[in-house]
Structure 1
Amino acid sequence: MRSPAVGLQPAGSQPAGIHAIDKARAEAHARLIEQMRRILGDQICAVFEDPQAVEIMLNDDGRVLVERHGQGIAELTRMPPQKALNFLALMADYRQTVVERDRPIVEGAMPPEFRRSRFAGCIPPLTPMPTFSIRLPTTRIFSLDDYERVGILTPEQKAQLVAAIEQRRNILVSGGTGSGKTTLLNALSDHVARMSGLESRIVIIEDTREIVCQAPNTVQMLTDMDARIDMTRLLKLTLRYRPDRIFVGEVRDGAALALLKAWNTGHPGGLATLHANNPEAALIRLDQLCQEAGVPSQAVLIREAVDVVVQIARDPCHPAGRRITAIWEGQ
């Protein structure tokens, strides 16, 4: 009887060496997660399971603060500098990089065991002591009805936004850090999903996964800076995916130009967020970001592509902690 050929494996099987590598990786990952949990402690780990939690922040004085929806910011516990430094080193290891004096910043998505929360941290000399900020992904979607019910939106503002969505106008959500831009974008996305069928294809582009869209025909893309795949490249790829609407997590750089071109070439009804203090400043900042792509002012393109700017801001005097301060509509 002829012996089976050397190297051939039964269908569906893998060489033993591959199984050993996979097992070693799984064990190394499990050890990493266990070390992370040990450093954070039970109090901080519990925050990742809290549906009201928005952000975990470590300041350089060692205080760990937590922001929760409608409850503001409160001190949770304290973390010694050495523990914080060890945690940043573990995050760097997970992100396949290092954190040291010459490379003092670590940022990116956390492991799935921490819900792929958005992490950003740094060490001295950038800050006196190690610090970090962890933005937790949304677990509950607040609808536009919810926004109206708690008074963040007036009935007139809600009607204005609903009409803009249904008329497939491009909406830019503007606000400061922690003002609730992404949560508002998710409320707008929720309304889009409620009126969308398979015939409406939505493509979402983000640096970390924060946008939630439950429409039946949705594709979500993430940038990968390690592979040099930025938002501009994904926006160009998006146009080959037959999008009807294009959503972008946050516009930060020259990708603004690609987004505006995409919105302005047969893909109306998009959503995006931007850091700015008012609608006029948002349009100016959008132009400045376009110019980072090496082009002159794109004021004309912006007027053609951006139909609505919604401004959301923190308001400590408001029961919900924030409110819609302005809605700008183009001609």
Structure 2
Amino acid sequence: MPSRLLFHPPDRRGSDQECRVTQLRSHSRLVRKLQDALGDQLCVALDDATVVEIMLNPDGKLFIERLGHGVAPAGHLSPAAAEVIIGSVAHALQSEADDEQPIISGELPIGGHRFEGLLPPIVSGPSFTIRRRASRLIPLDDYVKHKIMTEAQASVLRSAIASRMNIVISGGTGSGKTTLANAVIAEIVANAPDDRIVILEDTAEIQCAAENAVALHTSDTIDMARLLKSTMRLRPDRIIVGEVRDGAALTLLKAWNTGHPGGVTTIHSNTAMSALRRLEQLTAEASQQPMQEVIGEAVDLIVSIERTGKGRRVREVIHIEGFANSRYQTEHYAQIDEDSHVA
């Protein structure tokens, strides 16, 4: 016996329709309640395409980061107002927010923005951060225009895309890895519009306008490694992973090495070379054998992006030519001048 029906019996169509209407109304009420809790200032900020992140500190100070302008003060929020926001988000996520469950994480029903909320006793006052989901793609030309990337770096990236190189984008928290990945994917789609692209993520952040694309997401019971195994049966031309963060990195590298070149992923690492070390650590979770040769063969280009006091910038781009004589064979392209101005 199947565990669930894969169709709706004809005599339940009316009730199913009523159920969907009820769900839509419930969602609308939930969104309105959350908008009321957020208030005009935060709702306007979430509608602003230049906003990257909204941060409330435990002392009530509010900060907003905007593309090309960095982080700037944005006033204050009372503890009571902050608690209402966190409580409303928890309700929307069907969770609890109290001193026993003081951490609230998830996607807002408004725009799919990523929310992380904290309550006492782990902080002195209610605090939250909202990572705004990009509503528009930022093309590579705009990266050059805003001095986040040099012309030479953009040229290397475009050449790598045309050559179906596997690209790893590295950076720290809030450095703009996913936003840059979206720009690279847009270039891929423009360069190879007929390619079938399979995208794997924990949280839906990748934007892809390809005609032939499949997006998969992890769940409480399906992890990234399982998704990657399924991906191999979906006939992908390119495999894109939002972020590698565990032993599934080895499965991805092997997929890239076995007839699926031209992939993209991001990794949490502060420099291009440390991204290679991080990949070694992740692959070690899935294998007792050293995987440097696999990494050296699978990864073609590493793009390192960072967040500075002036904003974001692509710090360096390196080409990985392989692994030999106990070291990675690399060629550095378009390394940015430390004294250069960035937007």
User: Does TM-score exceed 0.5, indicating one fold?
Assistant: yes
Partners of 1:260 and 1:305 within 8 A in 2:
yes
Code of the aligned partner of 2:82: A
Partners of 2:68 and 2:146 within 8 A in 1:
no
Unmatched 5+ stretches in structure 2: 1-7, 322-343
Q: Which residue of 173, 176, 179 corresponds with 2:172? A: 176
Structure 1 match to 2:204: 209
Structure 1 match to 2:236: 243
Structure 1 match to 2:13: 14
Partners of 2:51 and 2:65 within 8 A in 1:
yes
Structure 2 match to 1:324: 314
Unmatched 5+ stretches in structure 1: 1-8
How far apart are 1:165 and its partner, in Å?
0.8
Distance 1:149 1:109 in 2: 31
Judging changes above 3 Å, is the alpha-carbon distance between structure 1 residues 77 and 293 closer, same or farther for their aligned structure 2 residues? farther
Distance 1:23 1:155 in 2: 51
How far apart are 1:124 and its partner, in Å?
2.2
Q: Does 1:110 align with 2:99?
A: no
Q: Which residue of 194, 202, 213 corresponds with 1:218? A: 213
Distance 2:128 2:55 in 1: 6
Distance 2:17 2:139 in 1: 46
Helix, strand or coil at the partner of 1:326: strand
Question: After the TM superposition, which of the residue ranges 188-197 and 140-149 deviates more from structure 2?
Answer: 140-149
Partners of 1:310 and 1:326 within 8 A in 2:
yes
Judging changes above 3 Å, is the alpha-carbon distance between structure 1 residues 283 and 93 closer, same or farther for their aligned structure 2 residues? same
How high is the TM-score relative to the length of structure 2?
0.84
Partners of 2:269 and 2:275 within 8 A in 1:
yes
Identical residues among aligned pairs (%): 44
How far apart are 1:308 and its partner, in Å?
0.8
Question: After the TM superposition, which of the residue ranges 124-133 and 261-270 deviates more from structure 2?
Answer: 124-133
How far apart are 1:56 and its partner, in Å?
1.3
Distance 1:280 1:105 in 2: 34
Deviations 1:272-304 (CA, angstroms, capped at 9, x unpaired): 111111111111112112223464442222111
Q: Which residue of 19, 42, 45 corresponds with 1:44? A: 42
How far apart are 1:117 and its partner, in Å?
0.9
Deviations 1:184-213 (CA, angstroms, capped at 9, x unpaired): 111111110101233x10111122222222
Judging changes above 3 Å, is the alpha-carbon distance between structure 1 residues 141 and 79 closer, same or farther for their aligned structure 2 residues? same
Code of the aligned partner of 2:124: P
Question: After the TM superposition, which of the residue ranges 276-285 and 19-28 deviates more from structure 2?
Answer: 19-28
Structure 1 match to 2:335: none
Code of the aligned partner of 2:108: M
Partners of 1:153 and 1:323 within 8 A in 2:
yes
Distance 1:214 1:19 in 2: 31
How far apart are 1:20 and its partner, in Å?
5.1
Structure 1 match to 2:32: 34
Helix, strand or coil at the partner of 1:48: helix
Judging changes above 3 Å, is the alpha-carbon distance between structure 1 residues 104 and 263 closer, same or farther for their aligned structure 2 residues? farther
Q: Which residue of 64, 73, 76 corresponds with 1:75? A: 73
Structure 1 match to 2:256: 263
Distance 1:211 1:244 in 2: 17
Q: Which residue of 71, 91, 94 corresponds with 1:93? A: 91
Structure 1 match to 2:140: 144
Helix, strand or coil at the partner of 2:47: coil
Q: Provide the alpha-carbon RMSD of the alignment.
A: 2.2
Distance 2:154 2:25 in 1: 50
Structure 1 match to 2:336: none
Q: Does 1:272 align with 2:283?
A: no
Structure 2 match to 1:58: 56
Deviations 1:154-178 (CA, angstroms, capped at 9, x unpaired): 2222221111111111110111222
Structure 2 match to 1:185: 181
Deviations 1:106-161 (CA, angstroms, capped at 9, x unpaired): 212211xx111112222223222222211111122222222223332222222211
Deviations 1:65-124 (CA, angstroms, capped at 9, x unpaired): 21111111122232222332332233223223323333332212211xx11111222222
Partners of 2:37 and 2:88 within 8 A in 1:
no
How high is the TM-score relative to the length of structure 1?
0.87
Partners of 2:54 and 2:130 within 8 A in 1:
yes
Judging changes above 3 Å, is the alpha-carbon distance between structure 1 residues 294 and 105 closer, same or farther for their aligned structure 2 residues? farther
Code of the aligned partner of 2:42: I
Distance 1:72 1:94 in 2: 30
Structure 1 match to 2:281: 288
Helix, strand or coil at the partner of 1:41: helix
How far apart are 1:236 and its partner, in Å?
1.6
Structure 1 match to 2:339: none
Helix, strand or coil at the partner of 2:276: helix
